[in-house]
Chains A and B, each alone.
Chain A
Amino acid sequence: MFSNRLFNILVPIISVLLGLISGAIIMLIFGYNPIAGFAALWNGAFGDAYFFGETIRQVTPYILSGLAVAFALRSGLLNIGVEGQVFMGWIASVWIGISFDLPMIVHLPLAILAAAVAGAFWGFIPGLLKAKLGVHEVIVTIMMNYIALYLSNSIVRNLLSDGADRTEKVAETASLQSNWLAEMTFYSRIHYGFIVAILMAFVMWFIINRTTTGFELRSVGFNQHASKYAGMNVSKNIVLAMVISGAFAGLAGAMEGLGTFGFMSIKAGFTNIGFDGIAVALLGANTAFGVILAAFLFGVLKIGALNMPTAAGVPTELVEIIIALIIFFVASSYMIRWVILWFKKEGK
């Protein structure tokens, strides 16, 4: 029999392969050359230093939003509200970034911290409602997403600017951007944020696997009643899980606010960083290391796809379909397990 651990590694790999194969089939159906398509995708992500810089830039917020979803899932909570928490973190970091005049050693950490706090607060509300009133966190977080979207638009327009569509740029002292990294990658938008992201992945691993709090969070995720019987405070752990999850999401917003863009603008819709985080977390099996790998894969797909129309004539949106299918395959892991076991039986 296959061990569970092996299954947990095999399912994501098979899902990605199935997703890519489906993408190839779609390309064949519409008369494109799949090999040329995937080659364009590969070159678009790794072709030269600029593309690679952009890929890392894209991976950075994905790691953090993936960690946010994964952390909540470990405690049995599905945080669809990462998107809204990203917005709150983004606006908070830019707010601090443009309104203070401080030395960098204070200003940058303060702006990043503000993002984490704002995201955490946006996670706290659904966490509290879930813990105290038993309200399903999925619906509340969806609603919180829209509130965050409209609220941040209103803040940009009325508080941080005089009716303009975007804020001014954050001060040098609060920026994650780096001339050195930019020059090295032919002026891509890569920034120091990836260090924060990797650090946070380590923080998540440490909290989950090496602290009592992490043990309690996981325990609540497995069985709330047993945890309560064992003397754990289930309500406190639910709120805590959402707060930490929201903080990670807020940091993802700070990556965009202080790194990629350096400002906040009026948004007509969502950035999808948060929704893609769900895919990242699922594919990464909710572990810190898995999230880094999955975020890297999605970053490569998203940035590489931009090269597909010019190099192979394939519409960029093909990658959205591939990502959606990968989520389906991971979610339907029951089917993959069943097929593997069936093959195993036949082979005997």
Chain B
Amino acid sequence: MEIIELISRILGASVVFATPLIFTALGGVFSERSGVINIGLEGLMIMGAFVAIVSNLTFHSVFGAATPVVSLIIAMIVSAIFALVHAVASITFRADQVVSGVAINFLALGIGLFLTKQWYDKGQTDFIESPIYSSNVPLLNKIPILGDMFFTGWYWTSYLAIAMAFLVWFIIFKTPFGLRLRSVGEHPMAADTNGINVYKMRYIGVMLSGAFGGLGGAVYALTVTHNFSHGTIVGQGFIALAAVIFGKWHPLGALGAAIFFGFAQSLSIVSSDIALLENVPSVFMLIAPYVLTILALAGFIGRAEAPKSLGEAYVKGNR
């Protein structure tokens, strides 16, 4: 039964790293499907992590056991509002979306660290007192094999992330709202002609990406790091962006890609346990997600087709 124990260990570690990526990648899907490139996912995660940690520290005594949930919600709301900056710049002021996203990343880190210095008088915050704990799902964890693999020692946020991916899939592909969102990203002029408010849809797309990106960063902070510093979010946002593209701008594809990237990240940690991978230098494990993304983009793993008008500002009346 050693092999099952090993699989459940790898699976558990993968899912811990994958969960924040899933949330953030879903946010990326919303934004990019509406035609707005979001390089700023990293910054949105930073904002989410910062807000979650601060609200967790502040409201710990008020909400008690409910603190983690409250901090996740606050992080989502603040990050959605923060994403407005990207929306205003890239949709209304027609700024280059990539540049605006880069600025978001700078701005989030600057604000986070500035306020940390301001409020805690040091480079990082204190450690939070009510993080999210891993737990077993009652009854289901008694199922032989499957119970060990999927229902033992996971964080509840992981189940939420997977459920959310299916929900987002339903919203984007099975509801009128999703159809409008996609049409705005593919051919905004045609959508406008049909009476869809292009600007409104794109604002909603970017703000949803803020909410989900913030949730991703918040989950990472509350499950993995437990405090906020300059090193809390280092590149997870960009991996989430890679997951969006690797998953071909599809929510379920992004889910799969995020789990794969989580697996790749966990491998560099648990590979010492696996006889087959013991001799592979860890650097190959570390660069694997990025190399695979490039290969995917180059069309070696099926062609990835971006939304048609991704990255183009929509100017009413222009042809």
Chain A contact residues, CB within 8 Å of chain B:
26, 30, 78, 80, 129, 133, 135-136, 138-140, 142-144, 146-147, 150-151, 153-154, 158, 268-269, 275, 278-279, 282, 315-321, 323-325, 327-328, 330-335
Count residues on chain B whose CB falls below 8 Å from chain A CBs. 44
Q: Does B110 contact A (CB under 8 A)?
A: yes
Residues of the A chain whose Cβ atoms lie less than 8 Å from the Cβ of B245:
139
Q: Does B291 contact A (CB under 8 A)?
A: yes
Q: Does B95 contact A (CB under 8 A)?
A: yes
- Quick one: given A146-B287, A150-B287, A331-B95, are A278 and B297 in contact (CB under 8 Å)? no
Nearest 4 pairs of A and B residues by beta carbon: A320-B110, A324-B106, A324-B107, A331-B95
28 residue pairs A–B, Cβ–Cβ below 8 Å: A78-B96, A80-B98, A135-B294, A138-B37, A139-B293, A140-B294, A140-B297, A147-B291, A150-B286, A154-B282, A158-B281, A269-B234, A269-B235, A275-B102, A275-B106, A315-B114, A315-B118, A316-B117, A320-B110, A321-B110, A321-B111, A327-B99, A327-B102, A327-B106, A332-B89, A332-B94, A332-B95, A334-B95
Instruction: Identify B103's interface contact among A315, A316, A328, CB under 8 A.
Output: A328
Q: In the complex, what distance in Å separates the CA atom of A158 from the CA atom of B93?
A: 49
Minimal beta-carbon separation of A288 from chain B (angstroms): 20
Residue contact B103 to A129, C-beta cutoff 8 Å? no
Q: In the complex, what distance in Å separates the CA atom of A143 from the CA atom of B289?
A: 9
Instruction: Identify B231's interface contact among A151, A269, A278, CB under 8 A.
Output: A269
Residues of the A chain whose Cβ atoms lie less than 8 Å from the Cβ of B89:
328, 331-332
Residues of the B chain whose Cβ atoms lie less than 8 Å from the Cβ of A140:
294, 297
Residues of the A chain whose Cβ atoms lie less than 8 Å from the Cβ of B85:
328
Q: Does B26 contact A (CB under 8 A)?
A: no
Q: In the complex, what distance in Å separates the CA atom of A6 from the CA atom of B293?
A: 43
- Nearest to B292 among chain A residues (CB) is A143
Residue contact A139 to B114, C-beta cutoff 8 Å? no
Residues of the B chain whose Cβ atoms lie less than 8 Å from the Cβ of A144:
290, 294
- Quick one: given A140-B294, A332-B93, are A321 and B107 in contact (CB under 8 Å)? yes
Residue contact B103 to A154, C-beta cutoff 8 Å? no
Residue contact A334 to B94, C-beta cutoff 8 Å? yes
Residues 236-295 of B at the A interface (beta carbon under 8 Å):
238, 241-242, 245, 281-283, 286-287, 290-291, 293-294
Residue contact A335 to B93, C-beta cutoff 8 Å? yes
Residue contact B103 to A327, C-beta cutoff 8 Å? yes
Residue contact A136 to B95, C-beta cutoff 8 Å? no
- Nearest to A276 among chain B residues (CB) is B106
Residues of the B chain whose Cβ atoms lie less than 8 Å from the Cβ of A323:
106, 110
Q: In the complex, what distance in Å separates the CA atom of A144 from the CA atom of B294?
A: 9
> Do most interface residues of chain B lie in helix, strand or loop, or is the interface mixed?
helix
- Nearest to B90 among chain A residues (CB) is A331
- Quick one: given A133-B298, A315-B114, A323-B106, are A331 and B241 in contact (CB under 8 Å)? no
Q: Does B39 contact A (CB under 8 A)?
A: yes
Q: In the complex, what distance in Å separates the CA atom of A327 from the CA atom of B107?
A: 10
Interface centre among B99, B105, B283 (most CB of A within 10 A): B99
Q: Does B206 contact A (CB under 8 A)?
A: no
Q: Does B299 contact A (CB under 8 A)?
A: yes
Instruction: Identify A139's interface contact among B94, B99, B241, B281, CB under 8 A.
Output: B241
Residue contact B299 to A317, C-beta cutoff 8 Å? no
Residues of the A chain whose Cβ atoms lie less than 8 Å from the Cβ of B104:
324
Instruction: Identify B117's interface contact among A317, A330, A334, CB under 8 A.
Output: A317
Instruction: Identify A147's interface contact among B100, B281, B290, B299, CB under 8 A.
Output: B290
> Do most interface residues of chain A lie in helix, strand or loop, or is the interface mixed?
helix
Residues of the A chain whose Cβ atoms lie less than 8 Å from the Cβ of B283:
150-151, 153-154
Minimal beta-carbon separation of A160 from chain B (angstroms): 14
- Nearest to B315 among chain A residues (CB) is A334
Residue contact B118 to A30, C-beta cutoff 8 Å? yes
Interface centre among A279, A317, A330 (most CB of B within 10 A): A317
Residues of the A chain whose Cβ atoms lie less than 8 Å from the Cβ of B298:
129, 133, 135
Residues of the B chain whose Cβ atoms lie less than 8 Å from the Cβ of A315:
113-114, 117-118
Minimal beta-carbon separation of A264 from chain B (angstroms): 15
Q: Does B179 contact A (CB under 8 A)?
A: no
Residues of the B chain whose Cβ atoms lie less than 8 Å from the Cβ of A154:
281-283
Minimal beta-carbon separation of A98 from chain B (angstroms): 20
Residues of the B chain whose Cβ atoms lie less than 8 Å from the Cβ of A327:
99, 102-103, 106
Minimal beta-carbon separation of A159 from chain B (angstroms): 11
Q: In the complex, what distance in Å separates the CA atom of A282 from the CA atom of B100?
A: 11
Residues of the B chain whose Cβ atoms lie less than 8 Å from the Cβ of A129:
294, 297-298
Minimal beta-carbon separation of B211 from chain A (angstroms): 21
Minimal beta-carbon separation of A31 from chain B (angstroms): 10
Q: In the complex, what distance in Å separates the CA atom of A305 from the CA atom of B206?
A: 33
Residue contact B281 to A317, C-beta cutoff 8 Å? no
Instruction: Identify B106's interface contact among A139, A147, A320, CB under 8 A.
Output: A320
Supplied contacts A269-B231, A324-B103, A330-B99, 16 more A-B pairs, CB within 8 Å: A78-B99, A80-B102, A135-B297, A142-B242, A146-B235, A146-B238, A268-B234, A282-B99, A315-B114, A317-B110, A317-B113, A317-B114, A324-B107, A327-B102, A332-B100, A335-B93
Residues of the B chain whose Cβ atoms lie less than 8 Å from the Cβ of A335:
93
Minimal beta-carbon separation of B302 from chain A (angstroms): 13
Give 1 or 0 for each of B96-133: 1 = CB within 8 Å of chain A CB. 10111011111101110110011000000000000000
Q: In the complex, what distance in Å separates the CA atom of A331 from the CA atom of B90?
A: 9
Residues of the A chain whose Cβ atoms lie less than 8 Å from the Cβ of B109:
320
Q: Does B306 contact A (CB under 8 A)?
A: yes
Residues of the B chain whose Cβ atoms lie less than 8 Å from the Cβ of A158:
281
Minimal beta-carbon separation of B201 from chain A (angstroms): 20
Residue contact A139 to B297, C-beta cutoff 8 Å? yes
Residue contact B99 to A331, C-beta cutoff 8 Å? yes
Minimal beta-carbon separation of B294 from chain A (angstroms): 5
- Quick one: given A150-B286, A321-B111, are A143 and B234 in contact (CB under 8 Å)? no
Q: In the complex, what distance in Å separates the CA atom of A319 from the CA atom of B106?
A: 10
Q: In the complex, what distance in Å separates the CA atom of A335 from the CA atom of B242?
A: 31
Q: In the complex, what distance in Å separates the CA atom of A165 from the CA atom of B39?
A: 31
Residues of the B chain whose Cβ atoms lie less than 8 Å from the Cβ of A324:
103-104, 106-107, 110
